[in-house]
A and B are shown apart, each in its own frame.
Chain A
């Protein structure tokens, strides 16, 4: 089936009233939670996951995908207007976006963020369309050693790219893997570390852990800071960027889209990483790097495009390899499995209507966001005026209902609270949550593939280095590990991290 025929199949799936409605609900909700700091796509998708069990699989995935890329859109609005990033991915937009707003140029900043996101979203979808099937076909020949090597590389990369000490990140990754081994052994079914708890018998749930570590921990952290919020009050006029704005933003948007897409394929918090990388790149390529941070439009256009392209890229490992690259993608696995659909190399072949339907829905959703967001900015600003004391109560409540509604199990509420406390302590001591969560997601895949590989090779670890694909992936992982240990390279990595964080 060629691409055009496939796409028209996809559009025939999306352009039904029901699916259009779910796409709309998805992007609208996504933008709303993107605007609200402290509640993100993870909590929202967890809340709506039980609801999707009753929908058709296509409607479910279309709506959940809409929440995911809609949140990337909404996050930028608050960065620009209030200097508070709604999502981690739009932290960097604060730098130049808020400055532009203070100079009375909030309109063009919001406008270019929306147009850039739309263009990047389209580039990302094109990339997804071209790469996912190719990778999916290649992945058909992957055996356990390749999958093991992929998970190793994923965890090494997410630790390498973590801010601060890589030792801390690796500790978090290994702890996450250990936490992932709680419950029934994926191969033999033997109980591990459950101590008689039925809830733990099914393993540590991803949703309670993620909502605790991010949702609850973030609120606790905010309670300990009591930061003042200062909303920028001035009439926003002229959302359309002028000709010069477009000229300045054109290449940053294109570069941001491409970079964002490829970073999106990598495991970990790709939205955040891609926007930081794009900002660093634009600053380096710019003829006036000293102006960055004073309100240059390139500093908004590049990163905003990058984080939207990354959301499309993140679907690739899930849909072609069956490996979720982040928590949201792991929740998608849950949404698909409920309908008896296994994401992986055979996904596109077995469920073309679903794959192309989602791809087409992303085109439609991006167009909806563009039309929707510009006129709704006023409403989002009003949402932000909700005092934090009420907002955090609501965030707590949504986390509690979200976790409970998944399995109707109060024990999962306690798991969430526990990880909320752990996440809070981690924030105070400089440990990052991302490697832990990714390890929790990848743990079972990693263990199963490791044990199968060892059985195939009769206990010989050389199997990971004699098969070409696995060998390349393993060598890459070792390169990242070693460069972070050897002092010369270590300062290089620190410099890179510092440059990004600057």
Chain B
């Protein structure tokens, strides 16, 4: 069996069972007068069925060559850092304000993820945060948090 397919099938099956459990807590009604729980419950059952079919198919597949798709740690690092940057941006965005958080966000991505030169990083971050603020915040009136700068 293919390892990734096997893992996805089992995960999906678990998801289907969780959905089944949660949907059964909602009011089902009758088939002639369905309530809020009716549709999610039917869907959870379908998801379980399809996941089982998928599991069966995954087991029938020839085994994949070992070590063919080992992730290289360098690129995984990048992805984890990029995701972390996004989450931290979400946390700081409203309290620090748009300009400061955007500046820090770009500095982090360019320096920590991409390892650009400091001079380039600072220049790009400065102008991008300012320019996007002018375009979105002032020109297009997009509501952006002012934060500690109070802009």
Residues of A that sit less than 8 Å from B by CB: 48, 50-51, 54, 165, 167-168, 170-171, 174-175, 177-178, 181, 185, 187-188, 190, 192-193, 216, 219-220, 223-226, 389-390, 392-394, 396-397, 400-401, 404-405, 408, 410, 413-414, 417, 420-421, 424, 428-431, 447, 450-451, 454-455, 457-459
Contacts and interface: CB of A to CB of B under 8 A. Distances in A.
Given A400-B89, A417-B86, A165 B51 contact: no
B75 interface: yes
A175 B44 CA distance: 8
Secondary structure at chain B's binding surface: helix, strand, loop or mixed?
helix
A408 B146 CA distance: 13
Given A171-B47, A177-B43, A405 B143 contact: yes
A315 B136 CA distance: 29
A179 to B, nearest CB: 10
B59 interface: no
Given A51-B141, A431-B8, A175 B26 contact: no
Contact of A224 (B75, B140, B143): B75
Contacts of A404: 93, 144
B17 interface: no
B32 A396 contact: no
Contact of A174 (B26, B33, B50, B79): B50
B142 interface: yes
Contact of A393 (B5, B8, B109): B109
Contact of B36 (A48, A185, A428): A185
- Please tell me the size bucket of the interface on B: 35 or more
Secondary structure at chain A's binding surface: helix, strand, loop or mixed?
helix
A424 B32 contact: no
Given A226-B75, A451-B34, A401 B43 contact: no
B43 A178 contact: yes
A437 B36 CA distance: 22
B42 to A, nearest CB: 9
Contacts of B26: 190, 192
Contact of A390 (B76, B124, B142, B143): B124
Contact of B40 (A178, A224, A390, A455): A178
Contacts of B46: 174
Of A51, A392, A401, A431, chain B has the most CB atoms within 10 Å of the CB of A401
B39 A451 contact: yes
A410 B39 contact: no
Given A178-B19, A408-B143, A410-B94, A167 B57 contact: yes
Contacts of B44: 178
Given A168-B54, A397-B105, A455-B34, 20 more contacts: A175-B12, A177-B39, A178-B19, A178-B40, A181-B39, A187-B36, A188-B36, A193-B22, A216-B86, A224-B79, A389-B116, A392-B109, A400-B86, A408-B143, A417-B90, A428-B4, A429-B5, A455-B32, A457-B32, A459-B32
Contacts of A226: 75
A417 B36 contact: no
A228 to B, nearest CB: 14
Contacts of B5: 429-430
A389 B39 contact: no
B57 A165 contact: yes
Interface in B37-86: 37-40, 43-44, 46-47, 50-51, 53-54, 57, 71, 75-76, 78-79, 82-83, 85-86
B110 interface: yes
A459 B140 contact: no
Nearest to A453: B34
A171 B52 CA distance: 10
Given A178-B43, A400-B86, A459-B32, A429 B140 contact: no
B27 to A, nearest CB: 7
A223 B143 CA distance: 30
B130 interface: no
A167 B53 contact: yes
Contacts of A165: 54, 57
A238 B30 CA distance: 69
B140 A51 contact: yes
Contacts of A192: 26, 36-37, 40
Contacts of A185: 35-36
Nearest to A190: B36
A429 B83 contact: no
A475 B143 CA distance: 49
B122 interface: no
Interface string B94-130: 1000000010011001100110100000001000100
B151 interface: no
Contacts of B144: 401, 404-405
16 contacts: A51-B142, A168-B54, A171-B51, A187-B36, A192-B37, A192-B40, A193-B22, A193-B40, A216-B86, A223-B113, A224-B79, A225-B75, A393-B109, A404-B144, A428-B4, A450-B39
Contacts of B143: 50, 405, 408
